[in-house]
């Protein structure tokens, strides 16, 4: 098999991963209420948007009472956070953000995601807050930029917590202005989240009968005895989440640039150029610059170019 055929095979395998395990199995469960769950953990990344979209679609198709987003994150980029908040607030079913398991956190941007939920819960020994903006490497940003970002974040936080009362609004602003963080019990005491639950069955019992604002109306959740449908990450999503690791992004970028330079210095082999293009594309995706759909389109275009070259 020629070199270009091997290259095309690699691209087709990469693309095929995206269609493996894309849906959770569905089972008929009579008249019992249905709750869909999805777990998002680690730093915020663009893959979460696709995972959340798939979970919301499953919840809507099943007529679920709620989508429970199990969260454990140290935070992430503000633009990714904003897109996730938009998805949550425009969800076709109520979204309950559940910070779990014990020891988990909803830090920085994760705190804002928790506030965006139509209801919010935390497991014991979890924490939320420390939402002050920082640079991409955790460094301080300029005074003017920091002031601008803080003000827009506080405005968003006020909008998300207004229904929870003055104490919750004040605490949310302190999380952004002074990087304050609180425990699960403190969050409930200030009205920032609705309840504390050690596990999912307990959460479902406590959510039953809870009145929430959903759209322009009030809605009462019916979750006692609910059938739980889990939406796991697909294999491709797991791979792409790994690619979002900053250390791996730096390594891919270094290899990609070096490979492209090798191709430019000795053109004609295409292998070094292909490896460089793939590594740079993966690195750009890992930085959160390249959306998932464009990520796939670029690989399709690369495969077409290789067919032409062959």
Place of tokens 């002050």: 132
Edge-to-edge strand order for the sheet containing 181-183?
Answer: 105-107, 127-129, 181-183
Q: What is the pLDDT of residues 128-183, one digit of tens each?
A: 999 988 766 555 667 788 889 999 999 999 999 999 999 999 999 999 999 999 99
Q: Are residues 243 and 224 in the same domain?
A: no
Count of the separate structural domains present in the chain: 2
Q: What is the per-residue burial (b if ≥16 Cβ within 10 Å, else e) of 275-301?
A: bbbbbbbbbbbbbbebebeebeebbee
Would residue 266 count as lying in a domain?
Answer: yes
Could you tell me the two tokens for 177?
């202005």
**Residue 189: inside a domain:** yes
Q: Is the pLDDT of residue 304 over 80?
A: no
**How would DSSP label each residue in 89-146?**
HT-SS-EEEEE-STT-EEETHHHHHHHHSSEEEE-TT-EEE------TTSPPPPHHHH
Please indicate, yes or no, whether residues 243 and 226 belong to a single structural domain of this protein. no
Q: Based on the fold, state whether residues 152 and 41 are members of the same structural domain.
A: yes
d(CA 217, CA 65): 15
On whether both 57 and 201 belong to a single domain, the answer is yes
CA 178, chain centre distance (Å)? 25
Q: What is the CATH number of the domain that holds 158?
A: 3.90.226.10
Is residue 117 over pLDDT 50? yes
Which one of 230, 253, 271 terminates a domain? 230
226 and 239 in a single domain? The answer is no
Tell me: do 122 and 51 sit in the same domain: yes
Give the pTM: 0.77
Residue indicated by tokens 């449908």 = 229
Residue 98 counted as domain residue? yes
Last residue of a domain, one of 203, 230, 257: 230
Q: How far apart are CA 301 and CA 280, in angstroms?
A: 15
- Is 46 within the bounds of a domain? yes
User: For 87-92, what is the mean pLDDT?
Assistant: 96
Last residue within a domain, chosen from 172, 206, 230 = 230
> Same domain, yes or no, for 131 and 81?
yes
Check whether residue 60 and residue 207 sit in a common domain. yes
pLDDT score for 100: 97
For residue 39 the two structure tokens come to 């777990």
pLDDT score for 9: 54
Same domain, 82 and 111: yes
User: Tell me, what DSSP letter sits at residue 73?
Assistant: B
Residue 18 domain flag: no
**C-alpha pair distances (Å), 118 with each of 122, 213, 249:** 14, 7, 34
Calpha distance 154→150 (Å, rounded) = 6
Residue 260 inside a domain? The answer is yes
Cα 75 to Cα 72: distance, rounded to the nearest angstrom: 9
268 within a domain of the structure (yes/no): yes
Q: Are residues 206 and 240 in the same domain?
A: no
Let me know whether 273 and 146 are in one domain.
Answer: no
Residue 169 and residue 222 in one domain: yes
Looking at mean pLDDT, say which of 47-51, 76-80, 185-189, 293-297 comes out highest. 185-189
Residue 49 belongs to some domain of the structure = yes
Q: What's the domain range around 40?
A: 23-230
pLDDT band at residue 109 using 50, 70 and 90 as cut-offs:
very high
User: What pLDDT was estimated at residue 275?
Assistant: 80
């Amino acid at each position: 098999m020629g070199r270009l055929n091997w290259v095309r095979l690699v691209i087709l395998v990469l693309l095929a991963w995206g269609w493996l395990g894309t849906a959770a199995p569905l089972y008929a469960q009579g008249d019992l209420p249905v709750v869909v769950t999805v777990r998002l953990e680690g730093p915020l990344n663009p893959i979460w948007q696709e995972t959340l979209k798939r979970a919301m679609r499953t919840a809507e198709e099943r007529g679920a009472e709620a989508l429970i987003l199990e969260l454990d994150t140290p935070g992430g980029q503000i633009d990714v956070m904003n897109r996730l908040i938009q998805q949550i607030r425009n969800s076709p079913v109520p979204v309950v953000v559940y910070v779990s398991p014990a020891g988990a956190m909803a830090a920085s941007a994760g705190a804002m995601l928790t506030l965006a939920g139509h209801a919010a819960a935390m497991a014991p020994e979890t924490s939320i807050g420390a939402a002050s903006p920082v640079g991409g490497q955790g460094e301080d940003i300029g005074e003017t930029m920091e002031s601008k970002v803080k003000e827009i974040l506080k405005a968003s936080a006020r909008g998300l917590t207004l229904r929870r009362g003055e104490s919750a609004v004040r605490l949310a602003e302190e999380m952004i202005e002074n990087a304050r963080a609180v425990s699960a019990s403190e969050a409930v005491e200030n009205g920032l989240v609705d309840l504390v639950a050690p596990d999912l069955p307990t959460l479902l019992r406590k959510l039953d009968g809870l009145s929430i604002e959903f759209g322009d109306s009030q809605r009462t959740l019916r979750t006692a005895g609910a059938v739980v449908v889990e939406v796991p990450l697909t294999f491709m999503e797991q791979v792409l989440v790994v690619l979002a690791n900053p250390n791996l992004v730096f390594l891919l970028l270094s290899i990609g640039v070096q490979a492209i330079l090798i191709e430019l210095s000795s053109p004609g082999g295409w292998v070094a150029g292909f490896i460089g293009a793939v590594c740079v594309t993966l690195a750009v995706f890992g930085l959160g610059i390249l959306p998932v759909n464009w990520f796939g389109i670029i690989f399709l275009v690369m495969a077409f170019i290789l067919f032409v070259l062959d």
